[in-house]
Amino acid sequence: MCGRYYVNENTADAVEDVLKQIGVEADFHNLCRNALVSGDIHPTDEALVLKATRQGIVCCAQKWGLTGFPHGQLLINARCETAAEKHSFRDGILKRRIIIPAAGFYEWNQSKEKSMFRRSDGRVAFLAGFYEKQEDGEHFIILTTAANSSVKTVHDRMPLILEADEILTWLTDDTRMGALMQKVPVELERRSDYEQLSLF
């Protein structure tokens, strides 16, 4: 799963550069940069996402987590393997896909010890997701997939991470959406304070 991720001071510039490279004229006005303040992003926080509209690819702030479920449950993740089959998620997957830019994300093992994961090449991690329109605005959810070899020693799930050249396909091409949901994400670099401390 993914219960927290982070952005840093370089994330906005990196997102803008990547979108220019792939020929996307994204609207990168002040809202984008204000939404990409450095720090950890928690469930219920507002964060920057990229979505497709009739005017093209735009950035906007959305809240993380879907509300309105029994017992006040907040849903922050959906499994790639089953999301399209679930009534609650199917419409969002088909019509309202988004990209969530992140510098990295965190996972916890069974001992509640935290690890930080990020791309070893320093690039932005483009997390796949979708959104729903709720009473107080747009809320997003992050898609997760089976953990690859760089994450599975900590957790059996991880966010679905797309490459820069897959952004436009994910946002606009309904025919290739399914294939992207089956991909194995890039290998990541892991940093674990508890492992470093255990050496002394």
Q: Please tell me the predicted confidence (pLDDT) of residue 104.
A: 96
For every residue of 53-82, DSSP letters joined together read ETTEEEEEEEEESB---GGG--B-EEETTT
Res 163 pLDDT > 80: yes
Q: Are 101 and 7 in contact (CB under 8 A)?
A: yes
Q: CA nearest 33: which of 52, 10, 56, 5?
A: 10
- The reported pTM is 0.91
Q: What is the mean pLDDT of residues 62-82?
A: 90
For 85-134, the pLDDT digits (tens) are 888 899 999 999 999 999 999 999 998 899 999 999 989 999 999 999 99
pLDDT at 198: 39
Start-to-end CA distance of the chain, whole Å, equals 30
Amino acid sitting at position 167: I
Q: 5-197: which CATH architecture?
A: Alpha-Beta Complex (3.90)
Q: Are 30 and 21 in contact (CB under 8 A)?
A: no
Nearest Cα to 14, choosing from 116, 128, 104? 104
